[in-house]
Structure 1
Amino acid sequence: MFRIGDFSKLSRISIRMLRHYNELGLLIPDHIDDFTGYRYYSAAQLTISNRIQVLKGLGFGIPAIGKILTEYDDVETLRKHLIIQHAQMKEEEKVLQQRLTLLQNTIYRLGEDRVNMNYDVNLKEIPERYVASLRDVISAYDQEGQLWARLEKEAGGSLQMATPCYSLAIFHDEGYKESDVDVEIQLSVTGTYRDTDHVRFKRVAPITVASAMITGSYSLLREANVSIANWISDNYYEFDGSMFSIYHVGPATESNPDHWVTEVCYPVKKS
């Protein structure tokens, strides 16, 4: 049996952390002296302490570690759990990389004095269109590609694109949402088609919008929105419908975000 100080040296875990693990029920001393209160650990518990340290190093939190130690005794079950953790960490890595790219682009724009740049705002009419439409609630804005994939799968092979071909996404929620967003995609087509399970064909009335053109990634939307908001205020207009984006050049045809061309449109009317 080893006193807590000696076990701390053997396990390379601080005394403070060993006491914390004890309070959480993660690593309980093998014996506590009733008279002195000294904590004693067995040599066999070094195996448990080593597992705890390995799992912490793999990114598991204390609750998950406790669950693994108590429920996953066989190697195969543990392996499956680690595969799940690996997938989660890969997703976190993807999100982190996106944030790093956004940070890098912001630093670049600061250097070029572009952060407060003004966008030209135009008042224009989007003409009447006949469209293939698919509307659904998706988990987040960056999952919009799922809708385009579904439209392509259900109706893409038979569609004849209109000229000009408006490819756009309408955001129907009253305000900005962190999740569960109501998005409708529309593609201008010619001809006559029958509705599929999820794709609807319909005529869309002409609409007056205040629009600004963005060249670059969608991170520039905030800057364009500032210009549009100022234009609407200065020219005595008000919002008159759901905001939408027209994708002149997007991820479907161009992999480099710097080359994307997006037209941000806010339906408006005179105040």
Structure 2
Amino acid sequence: MLRIGDFSKLSKVTIKALRYYEKEGLLIPKHVDVFNGYRYYESNQLLDVARIISLKQIGLSIDEIKKIIIDNESLEKILKSRKKELEKTIFKYSNQLSRLNYLLEEKDMKEEIFEKIVPAYYVYYKEGVLKDYSEASMFILESGQECMELNPNIKCIEPDYCYVNYLDGEYKDKNIKIRYSQAVIKADKPFNENNNIKFMDIPETKCICIYHKGSYDTLGKSYAKIMKYIEDNKLEIKDYPRECYIDGIWNKDNVEEWLTEIQVPIK
């Protein structure tokens, strides 16, 4: 058997960390000398500590590692959960990087079209009919308030992801069908629904995107550019376009500073 110091050298793990793993029940010495407290490990435990380190390196917490090693919880289930977390983190920072590049190039900026994968989300949504587009902001606000009243403990994901779909088959300036969706953290128990507020999973989606700067009145120009790109590249639209309002009347006084991301799902 190996004394703790030798085991530390071979495993490249500090004695302090080995004692912590022992305390957490992850790696128990095969023998502890009752007289001097020396800890001894068997050589095959080097594989156990290597597994712990591998799981730590992919970002799993000690509690998650314990579920795998002590409770025999499905490794695949936990790894898939971690994969989703990483994908959302990548999406968060790629989104921030896109916006940063957008701002850096703002002085000499042309609206650039780009493709990205929007990860799967669990959303609440509400559909309705607007008399005209001036009612959209109030519809969104009331949707959130209604959902919170039904589910006081609900939490939106971070970074925030919400969008609007316009559901008519053509442009309309009156009696406009709308759906507002907001991504939330899925709970163990189903959330409460009513005739207005519903929940659903939306799958991972490949989207062609463009940032639109300025008034919503000129969104048509950005849609024209993105649709031309889709046609030129012989792409096929999969679902209703999503309008993600990043900056608007709620945080920018100058309409020229409003920022909208249009996302068009494709096959």
Structure 2 length-normalised TM: 0.53
Which residue of structure 2 aligns with residue 184 of structure 1? 179
Which residue of structure 2 aligns with residue 165 of structure 1? 160
Of structures 1 and 2, the larger Rg is shown by 1
Deviations 1:161-197 (A, max 9, x none): 2022112101111111121111000111114321144
Which residue of structure 2 aligns with residue 128 of structure 1? 120
Q: Which amino acid aligns with 2:170?
A: G
Match of 2:202 among 175, 198, 204: 204
Total equivalences in the alignment: 154
- Counterparts of 1:72-111 in structure 2 under 5 Å? none
Residue 240 of structure 1 and its aligned partner are, at CA, apart by 2.1
Structure 1 vs Structure 2 CA RMSD = 2.1
Contact 1:132 1:186 in 2 (8 A): yes
| SS of alignment partner, residue 165 of structure 2 | strand
- Superposed structure 1 runs of 4+ greater than 4 Å apart: none
Which residue of structure 1 aligns with residue 192 of structure 2? 194
After TM superposition, the structure 1 stretch with the greater mean CA deviation from structure 2, 126-135 or 199-208, is 199-208
Which residue of structure 1 aligns with residue 212 of structure 2? 214
Residue 155 of structure 1 and its aligned partner are, at CA, apart by 2.2
Which residue of structure 2 aligns with residue 35 of structure 1? none
Distance in 1 separating the partners of 2:127 and 2:264: 19
Say yes or no: does 1:145 pair with 2:137: yes
Residue 118 of structure 1 and its aligned partner are, at CA, apart by 4.6
Distance in 1 separating the partners of 2:177 and 2:219: 18
Compared CA separation, residues 198 and 225, structure 1 to 2 (3 A): same
Identity of aligned residues (%): 21
| SS of alignment partner, residue 236 of structure 2 | strand
Which residue of structure 2 aligns with residue 228 of structure 1? 226
**Which consecutive unaligned segments of at least 5 residues does structure 1 have?**
1-113
| SS of alignment partner, residue 134 of structure 2 | helix
Which residue of structure 2 aligns with residue 94 of structure 1? none
**Which consecutive unaligned segments of at least 5 residues does structure 2 have?**
1-107
